[in-house]
Amino acid sequence: MNEEFFGYEREDGSVGIRNKIVILPSVVCSSVVAQKIAEKVENAIALSHQFGCGHIGPDFEYTVRTLAGLASNPNVFGVLVVGLGCENVTSSILSKRISKTKKPVESFDIQEINGGTIAAIEKGIKIARKMAFEAKQIKKEPFDYSHLVLGLECGGSDAISGITSNPVVGIISDKIINLGGTSILPEFTEWIGTEHLLIKRAINQEIADQIIAPINMFIESTKKLGIDFRGTQPTPGNIKGGLTTIEEKSLGNIAKSGKSPIQGVVEYSTKPKGKGLWLMIEPGLDVESMTGLAAAGAQLIIMTTGQGTPTGNPISPVIKICGNPKTCQWMSCNIDVDASEIITKNKSIDDISEILWKVVKKTCNGKFTKNEILGHYEMALWRLPGFGLDITSLLSKQ
C-alpha cells in the first residue's frame, strides 16, 4: 500500500497540510491593522514584517517574491493583502503574484478607506471571515507524498547533532524523495568545507559548478570587506556546544540531506523546478532560512537543534528533533522528537528515524507540532546581500 496523508487540494494542483487564512501587510505601516484583523478571524495569521517601503532593483524583487511566496504556500487557503497606499511593494503587486496560484485573494489600502485604522480593521475582518467560512468547506482528501515539499533546517547546533538528529533527518529526506517528493537544504554558508562531498552528488557538472560558485563568491566578497568569514564560524553557541571548526559544523548540516542526488540550486525563497533534493542559497540564519523555505513552497520543516531553539514558522509546521539529552530534558516543551535515546538508550539512527517518520505522518495529517501549540510563529526576511546580483547570474542557466 502506498504511503498517504490527508491534505487540502488547491486549485493549482498543490496540496496543503494546513488550511490557513493569511493577512499579509504589504508594508510595515499596515502590520498593526493586519494583526488586529487576524486576531478576530478563525485560523487566520498575520505575516507581520518590517519591510515593504523603499526597495529598489533586485532587493525589491527579493522582497516581493518572499512575501508573495509565503502567502502562496499550499498551506494557505486564502489571502487578504492590506496595504497602506504609498509604499512601493503595493498590495496590488502582491495580490497579482499570489493570484497565480488561483487561491482566493483580496486587497485594499488603508489610505483609501474613510475611517483609517478602525474602518480598515472592520473591512478586513468582514473579508477574512468570509474566506475562513469558505476554507471550512474544503474537505481533506488522501494524497501520496509526491505532493510534499520538505524543508531541512538546523539551529543551535552542537557536537551531538551531527551524529544523532541530523543523520536521522537525512533518512527522512531520502524517504520523501523516494516517495516522489521534494526536499530543500538551505544554509549555503554551512556547506563550506564539504563542497567536495556535495558536488559528487550533483546530477551534472553545471549543478556542481553552481554549488561551488556562490560559496567562493561569498568568501571573496567578505574578504574585500576585511572579514574572514571562516573566522566567525562556528558561532560562540556552537563552540559552547562542542563544535570546533566550520567543516565539522558543515558535515553535520549536510547530513540532513541524506544521500539523494542534488537536482539543482535555487535562490532564496524560490521554488524548486522539479522533484528530488535541491539546495537553496541562504546564509544560515534560522528564522530567515525557515521563512525562505516556506516561501519556496515547503509545507513542512524539520529542524534539528542541539542546544535548543524554540523558533518556528507562521506558515509551515516545524518539527523539532534534538539529540542532546540535557536539552531534551530542559526544553522538553519545545522538542517533538527525542533523538538523545541514541546515546542514553543505545537506540540506532534507524530506530529514531522510524519515530520521526511517524511524527511526520501525524503532522501532515493535522496534528500540531510543539511550535504550533506554543505559538512560535517567528518570521524574518533575508535582505538581498551585496553579491546577490552575481548569484542571480550564476543560477540563471537553470
Choice among 10-14, 21-25, 218-222, 290-294 with the minimum mean pLDDT: 218-222
Q: Which of 264, 315, 363, 265 is nearest to 69 (CA)?
A: 315
DSSP letter for 262, please. E
Contacts by residues 114-122 (CB-CB < 8 Å, ≥ 24 positions apart): 117/32, 117/33, 120/33, 120/82, 121/33, 121/36, 121/37, 121/40
What is the grid cell recorded at 245?
571548526
Q: Please say if the pLDDT value at position 388 is more than 50.
A: no
Question: Band of the pLDDT at 231, cuts 50, 70, 90?
Answer: low
pLDDT value of residue 387: 43
The reported pLDDT for the residue numbered 282 is 87
Write down how long the chain is. Answer: 398
C-alpha cell read off for 356: 520521526
pTM above 0.75, yes or no: yes
State yes or no: pLDDT of 73 exceeds 70. Answer: yes
Q: Please report the pLDDT score of residue 256 as a whole number.
A: 94
Taking only the tens place, the pLDDT of each residue in 352-382 is 999 999 999 999 999 999 999 999 999 999 9
Q: What is the mean pLDDT of residues 336-349?
A: 96
Q: What is the pLDDT of residues 141-192, one digit of tens each?
A: 999 999 999 999 998 877 888 889 999 999 999 999 999 999 999 988 888 8
pLDDT tens digits for 311-326? 999 999 999 999 999 9
Q: Which amino acid, one-letter code, is at 160?
A: I
Position 262 pLDDT exceeds 60: yes
Per-residue pLDDT tens over the stretch 283-294: 788 999 999 999
Task: Tell which residue, 276, 149, 264, 154, has the closest CA to residue 199.
Answer: 264
Cα separation of 99 and 71, whole Å?
10
- Determine the average pLDDT of the residues in 37-59: 95
Cell of 80: 487578504
Maximum average pLDDT range among 51-60, 61-70, 223-232: 61-70
- Residue 365 is predicted with a pLDDT of 98
Q: Which helix (H) or strand (E) holds 289?
A: helix 286-295
- Give the rounded percent of residues in the chain with a pLDDT score beyond 70: 91
Comparing 8-12, 57-61, 135-139, which segment has the lowest mean pLDDT? Answer: 57-61
Domains of the chain with CATH codes: 20-136 (3.40.50.360), 144-395 (no CATH)
How confident is the model over 82-113, as pLDDT tens digits? 999 999 999 999 999 999 999 999 999 999 99
**Do the bridges between strand 44-46 and strand 337-338 make them parallel or antiparallel, or are there none, so unpaired?**
unpaired
pLDDT band at 1 (very low <50, low <70, confident <90, very high): very low
**What is 172-214 written as a DSSP string?**
HHHHHHHTT-EEEE--GGGSTT-HHHHHHTBSSHHHHHHHHHH
Q: Which residues pair with 25 in a beta bridge?
A: 82
Give long-range contacts, CB 8 A cutoff, 24+ apart: 390-395: 390/217, 391/214, 391/217, 391/267, 391/281, 392/58, 392/267, 394/210, 394/213, 394/214, 394/217, 395/210, 395/265, 395/266, 395/267, 395/281
pLDDT class for 389, splitting at 50, 70, 90? Answer: very low
